[in-house]
Amino acid sequence: MLARIAFIGFGVVGQGLAEILLEQKEDLKKNYGFEYSVVAISDKMKGAVYDEKGLDLQQLLNVVKTTGKIEDYPEGITGWDSLKTITESNANLIIEVSWTDINTGEPALSHVKAAIGCHKHVVMTNKGPIALAARELMSMAKTNGIEIRFEGTVLSGTPALNLGVNNLANSKITKIAGIVNGTTNYILTEMEKGLSYEDALKQAQELGYAEADPTADVEGYDALGKIVILTNVVMDGTITKDQVPCEGITKITAQDIEAARSEGKRWKLIAGAELKEDGSVEAYVRPEKIPLDHPLAAVSGPINALTYTTKYLGDVTIVGPGAGREATGYALLTDILDIHRKISR
Ligand code: HSE
């Protein structure tokens, strides 16, 4: 496959993927027969450039680092907005890493629909479109004969979705539960070490774990989006986020942390989904006091973990990073390679 790539959005995650693509160019060709050319980048804040013959990705990254303006790239057509870039460029693979409103999924949702509508493959890390419309988008993609992938929406590059959908296929998953938000896990870990809530949150923001508006992390909405995705994509559920009781960590005080410690427990923000006898799935997000000898109690800092409870294997747990430039950039690379494998067969 020669992928002609267009980036929609070129922030931390997009640049993370760009760096990996540059670093791994030869290995991707040699080991997987995967070749690419980046033809377009369109970012709402940084501007846009398009060249049907391909852009120099290293030069683009340098331009973004020095001036912050994509339009300072010396060649190509500038000024195309995201929708024009998706529909009118010669790209055959759209990397959707723009901004998303978790309530409406926009503008990412429109980007994904436009890409599917003009028969272009899509990989994305934005939770909004998948939390709101996973089934609709997967069905549209099937009808239009293209592939969409979104591994990075849950646990970034740690292959939690692939594990559930592919590796544990028909293992009869009855329950999924875990720590799916790095910011809150970091805050709780630091509060246990004696830091105040405010200082721990500030650090999580400085380290780049938190969402643009950290309310989404601390009130549990980010974890809510992820458990909705897991429920609907892995457990074949049909839930919406409004059906999921959601409580974040904002009410947990230093006293609560101490009280848990004296009981031999620690607080974790747990997102879970359970299959009920009538075949429906119930999901939740809530802080729970976890006994110290439980595997999730040992998952600290920004690390995430997810346990699938299955009929044939019992519990299967995956632990790994859930956020970050490289870890999320890598999620996109695994999706790209997965599409490449599928369409090159
Ligand atoms: N803000 C999220 C987290 C980023 O802290 O886990 C990854 O979705």
Residue 1 scores a pLDDT above 80 = no
Strand 173-179, strand 121-124: pairing:
unpaired
Whether residues 144 and 15 fall in one domain: yes
Q: Residues, the chain, total?
A: 345
Residue pair 318/306 in contact by the 8 Å Cβ criterion? yes
Q: Is the CB of 222 under 6 A from ligand 1?
A: yes
Which tens digits make up the pLDDT trace of 270-288? 999 999 999 999 999 999 9
Using pLDDT thresholds of 50, 70 and 90, give the confidence band for residue 101: confident
pLDDT at 2: 87
pLDDT of residue 231: 97
Judge contact between 92 and 117, C-beta under 8 A: no
Region 299-314: mean pLDDT is 97
Pair 139, 49 in one domain: yes
Which of 99, 183, 186, 218 is the pocket-test mutation for ligand 1 (most atoms within 8 Å of CB)? 183
Q: Residues 178, 288: one domain?
A: yes
45 shares a domain with 64:
yes
For residue 224, count other CB atoms closer than 10 A to its CB.
27
Catalytic residue among 226, 241, 289, 311: 226
Find the domain containing 239 and state its range: 161-321
Task: Give residue 16's pLDDT band: very low, low, confident or very high (50, 70, 90).
Answer: very high
Locate tokens 């405010």: which residue? Answer: 198
Report the DSSP pairing between strands 93-96 and 121-124. parallel
List, in sequence order, every residue forming a beta bridge with 43; answer none if it has no partner.
47
CA of 239 to the centre of ligand 1 (A): 21
Nearest-angstrom CA–CA distance, 47 and 80 = 8
Query: Beta strand pairing status for 93-96 and 77-78?
Result: unpaired
175 is catalytic: no
Higher pLDDT, 212 or 180: 180
- Same domain flag for 44 and 73: yes
Predicted pLDDT of residue 209: 87
Q: What is the mean pLDDT of the chain?
A: 96
In angstroms, what is the span from residue 267 Cα to ligand 1's centroid? 18
pLDDT band at 102 (very low <50, low <70, confident <90, very high): confident
Average pLDDT over residues 236-249: 96
- Tell me whether the omega of the peptide bond preceding residue 159 falls within 30 degrees of 0, making it cis: no
What's the pLDDT band for 338 if we cut at 50, 70, 90? very high
Q: Of all residues in the chain, what percent carry a pLDDT higher than 70?
A: 100
Tell me, what CATH number does 144's domain have?
3.40.50.720
- Do residue 147 and residue 189 come from a single domain? no
Tell me the CATH number at 293: 3.30.360.10
CA distance 319 to 310: 17
**What one-letter code names the amino acid at 295?**
P
Model confidence over 147-195: pLDDT tens digits?
999 999 999 999 999 999 999 999 999 999 999 999 999 999 999 999 9
Pocket probe for ligand 1: among 158, 190, 217, the residue whose CB has the most ligand atoms within 8 Å is: 217
Please give the distance, rounded to the nearest whole angstrom, from the Cα atom of residue 90 to the centre of ligand 1: 32
**Torsion-angle region of 5 (φ positive above 0: left; ψ -120 to 50: alpha; else: beta):** beta
Residues 330 and 315 in one domain: no
Query: Which atom of ligand 1 lies closest to the CA of 154?
Result: 8
For residue 184, the ligand 1 atom closest to its alpha carbon is 5
Q: What is the mean pLDDT of residues 28-32?
A: 97
Kindly indicate the confidence band of residue 211, based on its pLDDT and cuts at 50, 70 and 90. Answer: confident
| DSSP one-letter string for 233-284 | HHS-----GGGS-B--STT--HHHHHHHHHTTEEEEEEEEEEE-TTS-EEEE
181 in contact with ligand 1, CB cutoff 6 A: yes
Give 185 Cα–ligand 1 centroid separation in angstroms: 10
Do 111 and 90 form a contact (C-beta atoms < 8 A)? no
CA of 323 to the centre of ligand 1 (A): 5
Q: 308 and 220 in one domain?
A: yes
Give dist(CA 61, CA 70) in Å, integer: 9
Q: Characterise 300 by phi-psi region: left (phi > 0), alpha (psi -120 to 50), beta (else).
A: beta
31 pLDDT more than 80: yes
| Contact of 129 with 100, CB cutoff 8 Å | yes
Q: Are residues 148 and 192 in the same domain?
A: no
Percent of the chain with pLDDT over 90: 94
Q: Is residue 59 over pLDDT 90?
A: yes
- Decide if pLDDT at 100 tops 90: no
**Are residues 291 and 330 located together in one domain of the fold?**
no
Count CB-CB contacts under 10 A for residue 194.
Answer: 10
**Per-residue pLDDT reduced to its tens digit, 122-151:** 999 999 999 999 999 999 999 999 999 999
On whether both 151 and 165 belong to a single domain, the answer is no
Shared domain for 148 and 186, answered yes or no, is no
pLDDT band at 78 (very low <50, low <70, confident <90, very high): very high
**33 burial class (0-12, 13-18, 19+ CB within 10 angstroms)?**
exposed
pLDDT category at 103 given cuts 50, 70, 90 is confident
Does the structure show a pLDDT above 80 at 22?
yes
Q: In this model, does residue 243 exceed pLDDT 80?
A: yes
**How many structural domains comprise the chain?**
2
Across-strand partners of 177?
272, 307
pLDDT at 45: 95
Other C-beta atoms lying within 10 Å of the C-beta of residue 152: 29
Ligand 1 atom nearest to 323, measured from its CA: 7
Angle (nearest 5°) at CA 8 between 123 and 98 = 85
